[in-house]
Amino acid sequence: MCVRSNSLFNYVTDSYISNYLLHLVLYHILYKSTNHTYNEDVIHYFLSMSNTTIVEGNTYDGPWSLSSTTFNQVAGVYLIVDTNGTIVDVGETENLKGRILNHERSGCWSRNGGFNLWFHHEINQVVRLAKEKHIRGTFRPVCGVK
Q: Yes or no: say if 62 and 50 are a contact pair by the CB < 8 Å rule.
A: yes
Compute mean pLDDT per 10 residues along the chain, 146 residues long, and list them: 29 37 48 48 52 85 89 95 91 95 93 93 96 93 81
- How confident is the model at residue 78, as a pLDDT? 97
- How confident is the model at residue 57, as a pLDDT? 86
- How confident is the model at residue 49, as a pLDDT? 52
- How confident is the model at residue 119, as a pLDDT? 94
Q: CATH: 3.40.50.720, 3.40.1440.10, 3.40.1350.10, 3.40.630.180. Which one for 8-139?
A: 3.40.1440.10
SS3 string, the chain, reads CEECCCCCCCCCCCCCHHHHHHHHHHHHHHHHCCCCCEEHHHHHHHHCCCEEEEECCEEEEEEEECCCCCCCCCCEEEEEEECCCCEEEEEEECCHHHHHHCCCCHHHHHHCCEEEEEEEECCCHHHHHHHHHHHHHHHCCCCCCC
- How confident is the model at residue 83, as a pLDDT? 84
